[in-house]
Structure 1
């Protein structure tokens, strides 16, 4: 259904962020604008024997600061991060779930690897002490829908609930599904994505794709579009959002989800082009935008030469050589899988709010033939009205999402301009 046919504007009214370089919206945004990286040597376990030893860990996160203590042993760290971000988003939006009809509230999240750390602990218990030592919560804590389920239970959100499992693209796919739910009659949707798989079991699973950086230098390990790109750095965290109809929103929207499209790449060896450019053009079409209407592109930024070239070529094909500012602030967090694109959406909304394009951290040269205007060296002041976010998931998933600034006539609240 096109925006013309359906009057519902999907507005994002609350943001919650849990990231390697910030545990709140303000902390994260200040870190991004300052170029402060959250990439460091892995400390959650001894990563010396592993091919990847640098990651974006969320430091100083105390689970019981964000949820009831009884939930902590029942759930995985990925769910802890998601619940914390959801609570922040509700508070930011000024929404009290207890005051809304329970079946009018929906939840849809993205998940990539699920509860790997919880699962690893239970597998170790099984191996060392036998089946009676495996807890009952193993049956649900690892499941990729656990964060959706726990959010629904905690806040009494009994409307349509679901999860999208399309790796990094899932953060955009979840928001698009949230828009569909609003158009279908839901009053409020909690949406977004988070991931946390920095444990031995999780890191081994990630390493299998052959795309992770093996650099021991956190400052240069992740160089998307760079001449010396050596792979991406993994991370944990993400962002959650309160999405409402703009005309009935509780608070002042950060912006609206104006356009979206997802595609899937053909299998290797097939004489068909990748689907990323088609996803970008489709999202622009859904938003009623021309390429010249886009003020900034938040790139997927794989940090892998072949994938970077495909993305740069798609951006150049749509916008022309150096035709639009491009940024990749995930160089300060790592790729967060299901949380990565969601965090990019949060960053894009803050860029629209404050009129500034955040930088791509790291001083490195672009690879030959990469003809994009990559924002580096520091924030770039700009009138950011419309932003494009690109995400790709391992295995061929592509998604593109257009965000437009606060609708005309929306109520202004302090701190949102």
Structure 2
């Protein structure tokens, strides 16, 4: 890809269980401060899962016009606020740009579950005449893309990707391809989810992947002998991405890094005896970035928290980089897995790591399980030169995604 067309990230907006806004989130992440706790938004005492990563200090009325509140689910309110913050961070005045050169590509895994639950309660409790007309779209996977584009006057190519946890990377990669082809000149991308409500929690129980440990300190322990599932969280991140020449032309104050390479694969059917396709996704991302494995300075792991899947990820990383061949981290141990928001938040972390040459820690992992050969950054941040970072994500059903970000001064 010509240097002028290289997609660079110029703005970041974060809504996470351990911090609102990029600055607060990053400071707390480097400090190892967890946002996991006993679920408070509703009484979860009767559920087998009682721990979550909730965003409890977000008041939508402080961040959005009142007219939008009855129209939107919690996840969309997060997405709109994070977009405002990312555009401000990038120094983008959308009213000064042609509306058809700006596009929106987001990821979603569940849509507006909480809004849907509320309207179903009205349907069965008080009758169909009390159901909000906004239910027709507030539940939908694509609603974040639509609401962001409407609010910011972005009428260029817009879409949504649904590949669960892998979605945040797939969305950023798709946005980058649109920029490289000249379809749009500025993209808002990322992912946010918020399914911590009774209906949303029940919907997540059947696969048996959620941790039922009641102590927030030990509920989510990926790569350990005690791994028993993951903790569900809410939130995510939004990025502003532009071709580097466009960012320079409008006088962008900074670039966090460039999106250098991406690849996605799909795992074979369970029980087929065929191996995971995660390693090929990683190699594909490195190939597209023009990198050798030895040139990757840190990996942000998927960290499912289930023994079999943790071993599979560790094996894929060892296959590509060698045993303990690269520093690995999983800061999502402080937020839980945020579904479509999870990989987007990891991508934001990777870009911040490039800026500050520091790897955020993984917490709650006192020891690695046998056969997990990882150089896992635990408990404390690790300072080291970071030129290239790899983010890995897997989505339920077999999705694999890997994306490389690079410093822009190399």
Same-fold call, TM cutoff 0.5? yes
> What does 1:308-327 align with in structure 2 at a 5 Å threshold?
308-327=310-329
- Give the equivalent residue in structure 2 for 1:19: 16
Deviation larger for 245-254 or 98-107: 245-254
- The structural deviation recorded for 1:184 is 2.3
Structure 1, unmatched stretches of 5+, are 409-417
Q: 1:7 deviation in Å? A: 4.9
Residues 297-336 of structure 1: matches in 2 within 5 Å? 297-336=299-338
TM-score calculated relative to the size of structure 2: 0.97
Query: In structure 2, how many angstroms separate the alpha carbons of the residues matched to 1:110 and 1:400?
Result: 15
Matched, 1:140 2:140: no
CA separation in 1, counterparts of 2:85 and 2:195? Answer: 22
Q: For 2:347, which of 345, 348, 357 is the aligned residue?
A: 345
Residue 394 of structure 1: which of 387, 390, 396 is its match?
396
Structure 2 runs not aligned, ≥5 long: none
For residues 55 and 30 of structure 1, the distance between their equivalents in structure 2, rounded to whole angstroms, comes to 21
Distance across 1 between alignment mates of 2:64 and 2:357 = 34
Partner of 1:208: 206
Q: Distance in 2 between matches of 1:66 and 1:164?
A: 26
Q: Which residue of 2 aligns with 1:150?
A: 147
The match for 1:100 among 67, 83, 97 is 97
Report how far residue 85 of structure 1 moved: 0.6
Report the Cα offset of residue 331 of structure 1.
Answer: 0.2
User: How far apart in 1 are the matches of 2:320 and 2:239?
Assistant: 29
Shift of 1:133: 1.2
RMSD over aligned Cα, in angstroms? 1.0
| Inter-partner Cα distance in structure 2 for 1:66 and 1:386 | 34
SS in 1 for 2:19: coil
Segments ≥4 residues shifted beyond 6 Å: none
Q: Deviations over 1:70-111 (max 9, x none)?
A: 101101000001111101000000000000000000000000
Q: Given the two structures, how large is their TM-score scaled by the length of structure 1?
A: 0.96
What is the alpha-carbon distance in structure 2 between the residues aligned to residue 208 and residue 70 of structure 1? 37
Please say if 1:198 is aligned against 2:200: no
- Deviation sequence 1:47-68 (CA, Å, 0-9, x none): 0111111011012101022211
Paired position in structure 1 for 2:283: 281
What displacement does 1:407 show? 3.6
1:222 equivalent in structure 2: 220
Q: How many residues align?
A: 405
Q: Secondary structure at the match of 2:264?
A: strand
For residue 9 of structure 1, what is the aligned residue in structure 2? 6
Q: 1:139 & 1:251 partners in 2: Cα distance?
A: 40
